[in-house]
Structure 1
Amino acid sequence: MEIIQNIFEGISNLGSQIMIPLMIMIIGLIFRLGFAKSFRAGLTIGIGFIGVNMVTNYMLECLVPASNLLLDKFNLNLQYIDVGWTVGSAIAFSTSIGAFIIPFIIIINVIMLATKLTKTVNIDIWNYWHYAFCGAMVATLTGNIVYGFIAAALQAALSLKVADLAADKVQSVIGIPGVSIPQGYAVSSVPLGLAMEWVYNKIPGFNKIKTDSETLSRRLGIFGEPATIGFVLGVLFGFLVGYGPKEAVTLGIQLGAVMLILPRMVKILMEGMVPISNAARDMMNRRFAGKSFYIGMDSAITLGHPTTIAAGILLVPITILLAAVLPYNSMLPAADLAAGAFYVCMFTALHHGDLVRTLITGTVMQAFLLFSASYFAPAITALAKANNYAFPEGAVGVTTAVNPFATLIALIMQNKLIGAIIAIALVVAFFVICTMWEKKKAAKAS
């Protein structure tokens, strides 16, 4: 068991920059794309991810100092410090569940593909930490590792199915064919996004307003272009936190650069995905009567849309304000404060690129994440202590945002056996409903 654990720890330590190109190349070979084309596709996608991560990290570096100044202005004194997803992932992989999460989730994915319960092949192995984190939380709450593995399996199953349901919208908005997003934060936000889109479409007047990038560019001219939007938001944010004119304009130019460059990095990803998608479609047409499946990717591929970036920037001051005024919140926003784009990336697709809708839904999501992080803070703190995490100076405890699927599963399964039965029954019911809906949709299409 120790040898097996070391092998999969080594795989997880490779990181996404190695794992994703390697998995893409293997998939290309399976689809008989040939070694040269498979290698080129994997390398191109790997380079694209590096480009996306470089620009995203640059955006975070620009926003973090301004965010910290804004936090100082509010003078928040909250009990638990947000340590962010990077620490959360490290803790998740270091647990007993995390050590075996890679083969465990691969087996679940294969079973679901074989039984036609999903169309998504989740190659985003690095982000399996979301399932490990959910499982580790439940194991901590119940004192039973078996319940932890059940929780991880349930979140993985939900993520794969919901990724299927949202795949068409994701592909149409980001322009990358044959992909879905099973990543924990992104996919678990889909139910909220769909519910809010239904509400928006029922509001008279509001349902006629369009604030997508094309409409803004057409109506506002240069002031509706992504680079200009980034510049204006950066300058306004700079003045809001107390920057002088030079620093505010610098921040504006930096964020304008992010808005312009990030979509071009995503286009590199698209260049690598197209031949893989075409090869997959051709094989499915030959062997499985045209049935399709999706390649599950990191949500980073969605960040190139200007609506996502703009909403992510605007959510920084909104999140701080929410942390200050919401009752029962005990989390001090910190490490993930500037990572709002990752939390709203699916809303951009579900709201057809509309900035106002994406921002409103993103605000609701941030309020939920503050509550979930506060509620589970004692369990997360215990988990961090058990794995020898060094607490920030002066911190009573630490916490991080817990995605909606993990929150729901953990809330139910903290009741141990009864909770496990209820959680399994709810997931089974969800799959039954989805199967009935898909059959009805297929019959209507035929």
Structure 2
Amino acid sequence: MNFLMNIFNFFIDAGPMVMLPVIITIIGLIFGLKISKAFKSGLTLAIGFAGIKLILDFMTSNIGPAAKAMVERTGVHLDALDVGWGSIAAVTWASPIIAILIFVILAINIILLILKRTHTLDVDIWNYHHMAIVGVMTYFVTKNIFLAVGASATMAIITFKVSDWSQPMVEDFFGIPGVSLPTVSALSSLIIAWPVNWLLDKIPFIRNSKFSIKDAQRYLGFFGDQMIMGLIIGLGIGFLAGFELTPVLKLGVSMSAVLVLIPKMTALFMEGLMPISDAAQKWSQNKFEGRKLFIGLDAAVVVGNPDVITTALIIIPLTIAMALVLPGNRVLPFADLAVVPFRVAMVVALTRGNLLKNLIIGLIVTASLLWCGTITAPVLTSIAQSVGIELGTSALLISSFAATSMIQSFLVFIAFSYNPLIGIPLLFLGFAAYWYVLENKTKQIEA
């Protein structure tokens, strides 16, 4: 036992760039990959983590002093920088307990399939990080592995059930049969959108609205480009910080570079996990042959829909404006502005393209992202620092529109991390209400 503990401690002390190849190699071997292919997947993930770490260091060293100067000069207290979901994914996969959480999430999916409590077969292992980060953050706060596992297991159960309930929308609105979307970054918006949409349907003007902006993408498309968004935001922060022209221009180009480079490093993560995902899909389909299954895919398959893009391109500038005036907000929207389509995709499907409802619900979801991101930024920052990401000396916090900024993840994290004896029962009561309403609605649709 001491020998095994020494090996475990060795990899923990070595850090994520050594630990990631080992963890991913083991997962790959379990799903039947050759050791060479499994190890290459793990090494690719480690390279991706190294790249994201370098970009984060570059970003915070550039924008940190500017954000601090902006706060002192304007009084706008936005000191929690949105570093993007890819950076948060890197932090998640670098956690020492990630292997345990990934196996738990996979086991929950298989158990629910065996018990016929879900039809979703989630082969998108890359996006397991959305469920795992809640466990990682719970463990960081509580130092209790059982609460951490419970948090990620709860996230998995909720995610797979919401995937089932929303699958008819994916099929009817997006025209993709046999597919569900267990991507928490897309599904989480529905937790707010379902009841708000029900309320809006009680208002005839909104329910019957034909408000549509078919030309919006043509006019906003240029400004929706990641490169241009980074440039504009960097220039804006530089001017508000009171910098001279040359530093302002340097900051603009630096932030433009960050928004271009982060997705490229994130792509290495996805490249590394793709062989694992393919092997998991083959393994699962062999085990559940002949069953009614929805293949759980990344929500990226629907974000190119014109209604989704139109809604997102309008929401993006409104998000920046909301961040400046929303009471209590400290999050400075940046990297995740590029993935706003994920946050609104299922809202668009729920409203069947009613643009007025999309904007109302989208802004309510955005407010929740900013508030929840503000509350959990200190924990997320401490976790990032614990895996070796240096954030400079500007007292800058980090946040994202992923992780526990999403309402589903936030509620689970709070329930398991702070007074779980009260929080966990309340969480399950709330989820039971959703289960009762939406399970019955799904059965009516199938009938």
TM-score, with length taken from structure 1: 0.66
Amino acid at match of 1:232: Y
Give the match's secondary structure for 2:201: helix
Q: Deviations over 1:363-404 (max 9, x none)?
A: 111110000000011111111111111226734221222211
Give 1:108 shift: 0.6
Give 1:143 shift: 2.4
User: Which residues in structure 2 correspond to 1:4-403 (within 5 Å)?
Assistant: 6-10=21-25, 76-211=76-211, 224=214, 228-234=215-221, 292-391=292-391, 394-401=394-401, 402-403=405-406
Aligned twin of 2:63: none
8 Å Cα contact 2:101-2:135 kept in structure 1:
no
Separation in 1 of the partners of 2:217 and 2:24? 40
Separation in 2 of the partners of 1:427 and 1:6? 39
Give 1:423 shift: 5.6
8 Å Cα contact 2:206-2:356 kept in structure 1:
no
Consecutive unaligned residues of structure 2, counting only runs of 5 or more, are 12-18, 38-65, 236-280
Compared CA separation, residues 440 and 396, structure 1 to 2 (3 A): closer
Q: Deviations over 1:81-106 (max 9, x none)?
A: 11110111011111133233332211
Compared CA separation, residues 11 and 355, structure 1 to 2 (3 A): farther
Aligned twin of 1:65: none
Give the match's secondary structure for 2:121: strand
Separation in 2 of the partners of 1:121 and 1:418? 32
Aligned twin of 1:426: 429
Structure 1 residues 86-95 or 406-415, which shifts more?
406-415
Q: What's the RMSD between the two structures over aligned residues? A: 3.8
Give 1:173 shift: 1.3
Q: Deviations over 1:156-181 (max 9, x none)?
A: 10000011001001111111110111
Separation in 1 of the partners of 2:422 and 2:338? 35
Separation in 1 of the partners of 2:354 and 2:321? 23
Amino acid at match of 1:233: L
Structure 1 residues 86-95 or 388-397, which shifts more?
388-397
Q: Identity percentage over the alignment?
A: 30
TM-score, with length taken from structure 2: 0.66
8 Å Cα contact 1:311-1:358 kept in structure 2:
yes
Give the match's secondary structure for 1:210: coil
Compared CA separation, residues 422 and 385, structure 1 to 2 (3 A): same
Give 1:234 shift: 3.8
Separation in 2 of the partners of 1:427 and 1:199? 18
Give the match's secondary structure for 2:216: helix
Amino acid at match of 2:183: Q
Give 1:410 shift: 1.3
Separation in 1 of the partners of 2:176 and 2:385? 41
Give 1:189 shift: 1.3
Give 1:426 shift: 3.0
Give the match's secondary structure for 1:182: coil
Structure 1 residues 383-392 or 417-426, which shifts more?
417-426
Amino acid at match of 2:219: V
Aligned twin of 1:63: none
Separation in 2 of the partners of 1:435 and 1:348? 18
Compared CA separation, residues 390 and 411, structure 1 to 2 (3 A): same
Structure 1 residues 161-170 or 425-434, which shifts more?
425-434
Aligned twin of 1:411: 414
Residue among 427, 440, 446 paired with 1:437:
440
Q: Deviations over 1:17-46 (max 9, x none)?
A: x9xxx9xxxxxxxxxxxxxxxxxxxxxxxx
Separation in 1 of the partners of 2:385 and 2:207? 49
Give the match's secondary structure for 2:295: strand
Aligned twin of 1:32: none
Give the match's secondary structure for 1:176: coil
Compared CA separation, residues 342 and 11, structure 1 to 2 (3 A): farther
Amino acid at match of 1:231: R
Compared CA separation, residues 80 and 294, structure 1 to 2 (3 A): same
Report the number of matched residues.
Answer: 337
Separation in 2 of the partners of 1:180 and 1:405? 18
Compared CA separation, residues 421 and 80, structure 1 to 2 (3 A): closer
Separation in 1 of the partners of 2:123 and 2:331? 32
Structure 1 residues 332-341 or 369-378, which shifts more?
332-341
Aligned twin of 1:271: none
8 Å Cα contact 2:119-2:293 kept in structure 1:
yes
Aligned twin of 1:36: none
Consecutive unaligned residues of structure 1, counting only runs of 5 or more, are 23-67, 217-223, 244-275
Aligned twin of 1:260: none
Separation in 2 of the partners of 1:85 and 1:164? 24
Separation in 2 of the partners of 1:422 and 1:104? 21
8 Å Cα contact 1:80-1:395 kept in structure 2:
no
Give 1:361 shift: 1.0
Amino acid at match of 1:418: L
